[in-house]
């Protein structure tokens, strides 16, 4: 019997509950309390934050709750890469991601297909410590009732052209497949609550405008910030090619809303990308 090569979790028990029953209970609780506005259209993609569940889980749940009743066979997750690596695009070298709720297989054929549509290498690395992709997995494991595979891409590049290429390649790969895209990003970091609200509302407005290039413009001009702005831009490019025509922001909050410390906060937004 062949042993599955698992990516070990570097954050279970720290960024989220390490015990399977406690983790399932906490994620289910976040999902149960996610009060969604009316969503009109077919869900193509999500925008979700990636801080520890205690801080951003309540916001993230609003994005993942929009998947209730859906049965995608493939989930593409685009996230930033917070550590140094000399590669524009990164994926895992492992066959599956491991969380306390079980293992999720990486769709190697979809990954290979994605690479055929790209002239930029997607570099596989082992034992990455990136939290922004993994943190979304327990939500997917609890909200999706079917078995699904992952297409994980960590976007370290910050160039518009690379995000356009990745978006186009991803759309080509997902066409005709039962798939959802998740873009993982937090918003501004370590401003006071009032300043964060101004910066974050501008960045969320750029997301809703469905104009990927304007996201980079906001970042470069200091009008708004998102650590996963390149991941979101790539997702929007792909989603548009897949027929999506609307971004709806479902929830916004900051770490201060959890901790009570509004002097230095991180912003979190949840959204859904729809084809009407």
CATH number of the domain at 98, please: 3.40.830.10
The answer as to whether 258 is a domain residue is yes
The answer as to whether 251 is a domain residue is yes
Which residue stretches of 33-159 are H helix?
A: 53-65, 108-116, 131-134, 137-143
Q: What percent of the chain has pLDDT over 70?
A: 99
* Confidence class for position 260, pLDDT limits 50, 70, 90: very high
Domain carrying residue 183: 25-156+174-188+201-264
Q: What is the pLDDT of residues 28-73, one digit of tens each?
A: 999 999 999 999 999 999 999 999 999 999 999 999 999 999 999 9
The answer as to whether 225 is a domain residue is yes
The answer as to whether 101 is a domain residue is yes
The answer as to whether 245 is a domain residue is yes
Residue 216, token pair as written in the block: 């980079």
Cα–Cα distance measured from residue 271 to residue 252, given in angstroms and rounded to the nearest whole number: 9
Q: Are 67 and 203 in contact (CB under 8 A)?
A: no
Q: How many residues does the chain have?
A: 276
For the chain, what is the mean pLDDT? 97
pLDDT exceeds 70 at position 215: yes
Give the strand order in the sheet containing 102-105.
6-7, 96-99, 102-105
Structural domains in the chain (count)? 1
* Confidence class for position 3, pLDDT limits 50, 70, 90: confident
The answer as to whether 149 is a domain residue is yes
The answer as to whether 244 is a domain residue is yes
Residue at token pair 């609550």: 193
Handedness of CA 188, 189, 193, 195 (dihedral sign): negative
The answer as to whether 249 is a domain residue is yes
pLDDT exceeds 70 at position 1: no
Q: What is the DSSP letter of 239?
A: H
Q: Are 215 and 206 in contact (CB under 8 A)?
A: yes
CA 225 to chain centre: 16
Cα–Cα distance measured from residue 81 to residue 214, given in angstroms and rounded to the nearest whole number: 21
pLDDT exceeds 60 at position 249: yes
pLDDT exceeds 80 at position 2: no
Q: What is the pLDDT of residues 134-189, one digit of tens each?
A: 999 999 999 999 999 999 999 999 999 999 999 999 999 999 999 999 999 999 99
Cα–Cα distance measured from residue 226 to residue 232, given in angstroms and rounded to the nearest whole number: 9
């Amino acid at each position: 019997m062949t042993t599955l090569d698992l990516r070990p979790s570097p954050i279970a028990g720290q960024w989220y509950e390490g015990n399977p029953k406690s983790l399932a209970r906490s994620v289910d609780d976040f999902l149960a309390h996610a009060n969604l506005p009316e969503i009109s259209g077919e869900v193509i993609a999500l925008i979700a934050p990636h801080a520890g569940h205690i801080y951003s889980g309540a916001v993230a749940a609003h994005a993942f709750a929009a998947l209730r009743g859906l049965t995608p066979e493939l989930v593409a997750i685009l996230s930033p890469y917070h550590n140094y690596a000399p590669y524009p695009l990164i994926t895992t070298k492992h066959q599956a991601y491991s969380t306390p709720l079980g293992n999720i297989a990486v769709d190697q054929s979809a990954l290979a297909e994605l690479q055929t549509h790209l002239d930029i290498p997607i570099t596989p690395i082992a034992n990455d410590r990136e939290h922004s992709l993994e943190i979304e997995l327990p939500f997917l494991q609890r909200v999706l009732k079917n078995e699904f595979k992952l297409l994980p891409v960590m976007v370290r590049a910050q160039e518009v052209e690379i995000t356009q290429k990745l978006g186009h390649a991803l759309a080509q790969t997902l066409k005709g497949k039962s798939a959802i895209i998740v873009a993982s990003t937090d918003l501004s970091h370590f401003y006071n609550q009032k300043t964060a609200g101004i910066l974050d509302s501008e960045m969320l407005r750029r997301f809703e405008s469905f104009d990927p290039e304007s996201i980079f413009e906001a970042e470069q001009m200091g009008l708004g910030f998102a650590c996963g702005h390149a991941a979101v831009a790539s997702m929007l490019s792909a989603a548009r090619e897949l027929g999506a025509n609307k971004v709806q922001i479902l929830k916004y909050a900051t770490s201060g809303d959890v901790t009570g410390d509004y002097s230095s906060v991180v912003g979190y937004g949840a959204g859904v990308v729809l084809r009407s």
